[in-house]
Chain A
Amino acid sequence: DQQVKQNSPSLSVQEGRISILNCDYTNSMFDYFLWYKKYPAEGPTFLISISSIKDKNEDGRFTVFLNKSAKHLSLHIVPSQPGDSAVYFCAAKGGSQGNLIFGKGTKLSVKP
């Protein structure tokens, strides 16, 4: 049973436009949500996180929104750049355990 779901395997966006990546979760005990970016032949790198007590966190071009009632979060990238083309993983952390539970990822392609 997947606790973290990314239902879109891929997304294609034009350079300069907004990219919106979505993630749903089932466990209301998660206390932090994170987004990771992964390029081919590299390990995942941390992008941005949000606490379960917040509904928005912003870092430059990246904003994460959390809707607890819908158990849904989204990552907005504005404006999108070709260098943003990568696989984006949504992850959740539950309580005192440090391990993260990951979604299957969404491959973002930003076209010049």
Chain B
Amino acid sequence: DSGVTQTPKHLITATGQRVTLRCSPRSGDLSVYWYQQSLDQGLQFLIQYYNGEERAKGNILERFSAQQFPDLHSELNLSSLELGDSALYFCASSVSQPTGELFFGEGSRLTVL
């Protein structure tokens, strides 16, 4: 158990809809990262928050947005969903350390029909 909690574990929705994925980081971790893993793809970095502020942005679509709340949990909002958004979405957290080790949750599997 990494200590990172993600909900929901599975989500099935239709094209055009909007969903929210939630992440609770490990106790004490200030950084939260969101990654997307599509079929046959590696983990694609979407966005990072540190203590409530956006720190870095990766390949995140404009239809996607995220935020980190004062209690450090984070939400990833996906809107105007398309079939190609079907993927595993992972949240990770870390203490700031030079080695870069991230602790991942079990992921939220999104299926868009």
Q: How many A-B residue pairs have CB under 8 A?
A: 71
Interface residues on A, range: 20 to 34
Which of A12-20, A62-70, A73-81, A94-102 interfaces with chain B? A94-102
Which residues of chain A are within 8 angstroms of B98 by Cβ–Cβ distance?
Answer: 31-32
Q: Are A43 and B45 in contact (CB under 8 A)?
A: no
10 contacts between A and B (CB under 8 A): A32-B100, A34-B101, A41-B106, A43-B92, A44-B104, A98-B48, A98-B96, A98-B102, A102-B44, A104-B40
Q: Are A43 and B4 in contact (CB under 8 A)?
A: yes
Knowing A43-B90, A89-B42, A104-B42, the reply to whether A98 touches B100 (Cβ < 8 A) is: yes
Chain B count of residues within 8 A CB distance of the other chain:
30
**Which positions in A face B, CB cutoff 8 Å?**
4, 6, 31-32, 34, 36, 41-46, 49, 51, 89, 91, 93, 97-105
| Of the residues A100, A104, A105, contact of B102 by C-beta under 8 Å | A100
